[in-house]
Structure 1
Amino acid sequence: MSPPPARPADPIRWHLLLAAVFAVLCAIRLTIPSKPYFDEVHYLPAARALLDMSQALNREHPPLGKQAIALAMLLFGDNPLGWRAMPFACGVLALFAACRAMWFASQSRAASVLTGVFLITGFPLLVQARIAMLDAVMLGFVMLALWMCAGAVREHETARWRLAMAGAALGAAMAAKWNAIPLAMVPGLAFLAARVWQAKGQFLTTKRGWPIGGMTLWEAGIWLGLLPLAVYALSYWPFLLFADVPGNPTGLIDLHRQMLDLQTQVLAPHPYQSQWWQWATNARAIWYLYEVADGAQRGVVLLGNPLSSLAMLPALVWCLWAGLKEGRRDCLALAVLYAVSLGMWIVAPKPVQFYYHYILPHCFGMAALALATERLWQRNERLVPTVLVGGSAVLFLWFYPILTAAPLESDQDFLHYAWIEGWR
């Protein structure tokens, strides 16, 4: 008898180490500035109103992200730690879950570890995990859902509970921020497309075939369709208890009509607004903070790593090619996830957009870069992978002070980091 095929050992210890390193990097100066900055001024009043059930504030966004911030404030107090503890925790979860998702999708130890390295050194995940905004909360649930979906495809015996967790996480992601809605549709549609392709007329009843043997399409529809919608709807429970809900919606549908009107209203131009092509080329940054705070000149800038954020573009092209020509499902999945999450903002009727809307596509691009770097190494290419990993790490260390509100020497220190006009 032939021996069983070799299977690489699960690198979960490396993933835990990367998550711990990321947590330490995020925790440094987490409570600085000690007053709300940037969009915290919108979400913290909404969280306080949730705690006393006085009024529904910040109604243009769904409520779960603000509930998460309010929960941390209840646990740690109405202070900088309480404000930022939940985005911090969700950011660490996103990093760990992304590594796990890559492992189950590719069965590559190197690619899963590189995914964590590129996400840590990529800038946006770190910045968003340190501020009381909704993006890190959404991202944590999205990555958890993708981890569970990839695990279900890899280990069919665990598929039922994994898809249940994935569905709940997808609903929570949508309930944190609407950015997740297009992505929440991808797992269910992928399952449907795979079954129709393989089973033809029996696609509704068969349990055979990819992506999960032993599960029918209708059952997958419960976990990936109905459950996310139920979790999303349940997140609106505070609207039954608020003393005042502006607009007096007559129900959930009317409330969503008002939310959509708020999202698409024409706003005055913002000095930091940008377009999708500026995000992809890393041409426009946002200064969340640049002022004297807590006794020193400090700054926090949101932009992408100057090396990896551009290198991921050819990596995504390669992923699309490898997915279509070589049948690499892991590569194709990343190309699709990037296209869906970015495509939303190309067609969205929201008139004013910002770089932080790019965080989901950016994370998928970092994962694509991990796969491409691994492929180059397998082909005995050493220079480019070394430059990508080492160069990204060096740039991360250089920019780290301006990503984490470190004390600066003068009010002109931003010139050390604003290399192009669009970063000023």
Structure 2
Amino acid sequence: MRNWGVPAQRLIPPMQGGALLGWLAPLAVAIFGGILRFVRLGEPKAVVFDETFYVKDAYSLIVHGVEMATLGDAKNPIADRRLIAGNLDIFKQCAQPSECASFVAHPPLGKWMIGAGEWLFGMNPFGWRFAAALAGTLSVLVLARVARRMTRSTLLGCLAGLLLALDGLHLVLSRTALLDIFLMFWVLCGFACLVADRDWARRKLVAWYESAPVTETGPRLGLRPWRLAAGACLGAACAVKWSGIFFLVAFAVLSIMWDLGARRALGLREPYRGALSYDLPGGAGAMVLVPALVFTASWAGWFASADGWGRNWDRATSSGPVFFVFDSLRSWVQYQTQVLGFHSGLEDYHPYMSEPWSWPLLLRPVSFHYPTDLPASACGGGQCSQAVLGVGTPALWYAAALALLGLIAWYVSSRDWRAGAALLGFAAGWLPWFYYAIADNRTMYLFYMIPVVPFMVLALVLMAGLALGKQDAPAPRRAAGAAVVGAFALVVLINFWWLHPVLTAETITHAQWWARMLMSSWVTAAPK
């Protein structure tokens, strides 16, 4: 007879509400978010901010399998105008294709995703922004589902999806062909898979506890599909931007800590030995080997082509297949080393650069688009404005800063795993930039925060859950909490609606544009 252990409900709390509603309600929120992202997606009909790099690289990947040099090799108004006019003759003319190989600073997966939209819908603003809008919309659904799983509440899950849908920075990057929205998407998917794996592993432990003979360390859990999926997603994040590695390392540690906690909560006499013997080897495979394979596979076009940067195809093919593999890998590693050196020395001044400690306060957003030649007739007379400002919804971000402080106190007092997970996700995406700001003086921007926005929303939702109270709390207590949470959601909605014209390039008067600039630092030039 077992005289140790804990009830299964402590390992797997019951979900509130039915499974059907748990899908239909988040889907409805995601559709709302999708409408915001897809309506007028082709506006502005221009190459905005750094789209000039990624749009052309993505098209080159679709056509050539590798990034080829375009006219000017950088932001080139002539090439940009050709794109908008539908003229795709934007590549340099070279005697040998390898002479036009382009050095690129980021892995190719995000550009492959942009290129998929260009292949489906053509080389036009809607086509090159389609994948970003899709990733942004799906991230609303994923966050709603993962928040539901963490809180066991469909209502709180939908609140999470709604808040993400109403964030200004998330909206802008969902409507722009930059890489950061894809980084956020894969990081969020990886985290969601780990949360699902946490439930999956605990169900297996509970099933063993209820039926199998007693052991001191617990059982082997076998193949864990959700953790493998998490490794693949986090590998995809690294294959979009190298900064995905911060999340990969943090979540790998988080996963094994959850395994240790599950075996300890079950009452096993030697939980740590069980986790280290049975869980750690599989975790290493899922969170090291799988991401490495995904990252390497994202370079398949480079490996298969003779035209990529530093490919050395002639040398690689000179001495048989074994030497081909060895020399190709050597050239590839050398290329990655060059990319690392490029990022370490990236100190160019940009008028909208900012420091990471200023990001949560939205002190210096990024102007993605602001034409200066709009005719007065565009807005009915007078000076007109048409802006895309990469800025978060202030009501959401400032409340999230307070919620994160609240989570620190909650985690210190209770060691609640949900508070710890949200804090770790935020820290993994924000704190590393402090090192680069101090040690490298690197050029950085507010939109580098987009991968942590879902964790800011999770912080808000977890605090909202505390405000609502437990299901068995007195009705007046629940009603008061619901009023506070509902009022906050309404404030975020109104704030987002007010900013919407300057997030989506609506043509408005200069006075209307200026009224939406919360601080002078949103529009004035940064000091050199």
Q: CA deviation at 1:292?
A: 5.8
Aligned residue in 2 for 1:263: 343
| TM-score of the aligned structures, taking structure 1 as reference length | 0.90
Aligned residue in 2 for 1:203: 275
Q: CA deviation at 1:385?
A: 2.5
Identity within the alignment, %? 24
Aligned residue in 2 for 1:179: 243
Q: 335, 350, 355: which is aligned to 1:275?
A: 355
Q: Distance in 1 between matches of 2:422 and 2:127?
A: 34
Q: Distance in 2 between matches of 1:241 and 1:7?
A: 48
Whether the aligned pair in 2 keeps the contact of 1:87 and 1:132 (CA below 8 Å) is: yes
Q: Distance in 2 between matches of 1:358 and 1:57?
A: 28
Equivalent positions of 1:384-403 (< 5 A) are 384-403=484-503
Aligned residue in 2 for 1:368: 459
Moved more, 263-272 or 189-198: 189-198
Q: CA deviation at 1:142?
A: 1.5
Whether the aligned pair in 2 keeps the contact of 1:324 and 1:332 (CA below 8 Å) is: no
- Asked if 1:253 corresponds to 2:333, the answer is yes
Distance 1:162 1:196, change over 3 A: closer
Q: 406, 413, 416: which is aligned to 1:318?
A: 406
- Asked if 1:129 corresponds to 2:174, the answer is yes
Q: Distance in 2 between matches of 1:355 and 1:33?
A: 21
Q: 261, 265, 284: which is aligned to 1:221?
A: 284
Aligned length: 412
Q: 96, 106, 109: which is aligned to 1:61?
A: 106
Counterpart of 1:20, as a letter, is I
Q: Distance in 1 between matches of 2:513 and 2:30?
A: 29
Q: CA deviation at 1:193?
A: 3.5
Equivalent positions of 1:4-403 (< 5 A) are 7-9=15-17, 10=19, 11-53=22-64, 55=68, 56-57=101-102, 59-156=104-201, 160-195=224-259, 198=264, 199-206=271-278, 216-247=279-310, 250-291=330-371, 296=378, 297-348=385-436, 349=440, 351-378=442-469, 380-381=480-481, 384-403=484-503
Moved more, 150-159 or 167-176: 150-159
Distance 1:163 1:382, change over 3 A: closer
Cα-to-partner distance string for 1:139-158 (whole Å, 9 max, x where unaligned): 22111111211112123369
Aligned residue in 2 for 1:420: 519
Q: Distance in 2 between matches of 1:218 and 1:254?
A: 30
Distance 1:146 1:193, change over 3 A: closer
Distance 1:7 1:32, change over 3 A: closer
Cα-to-partner distance string for 1:186-227 (whole Å, 9 max, x where unaligned): 232123334567533443324xxxxxxxxx321222222211
Counterpart of 1:8, as a letter, is Q
Moved more, 320-329 or 288-297: 288-297
Q: Distance in 2 between matches of 1:228 and 1:420?
A: 42
Counterpart of 1:419, as a letter, is L
Moved more, 247-256 or 103-112: 247-256
Q: CA deviation at 1:243?
A: 4.6
Name the SS of the counterpart of 1:252 in structure 2.
helix
Whether the aligned pair in 2 keeps the contact of 1:110 and 1:374 (CA below 8 Å) is: no
Distance 1:115 1:6, change over 3 A: closer
Whether the aligned pair in 1 keeps the contact of 2:108 and 2:239 (CA below 8 Å) is: yes
Counterpart of 2:277, as a letter, is T
Counterpart of 1:393, as a letter, is L
Q: CA deviation at 1:43?
A: 0.5
Q: CA deviation at 1:14?
A: 1.3
Whether the aligned pair in 2 keeps the contact of 1:263 and 1:350 (CA below 8 Å) is: no
Counterpart of 1:38, as a letter, is F
Gapped regions of structure 2 (runs ≥ 5): 1-6, 69-100, 205-222, 265-270, 313-329, 379-384, 470-476, 524-528
Q: Distance in 2 between matches of 1:108 and 1:343?
A: 30
Q: Distance in 1 between matches of 2:412 and 2:405?
A: 11
Q: Distance in 1 between matches of 2:52 and 2:285?
A: 38
Q: Distance in 2 between matches of 1:103 and 1:35?
A: 39
CA RMSD of aligned residues (A): 2.4
| TM-score of the aligned structures, taking structure 2 as reference length | 0.73
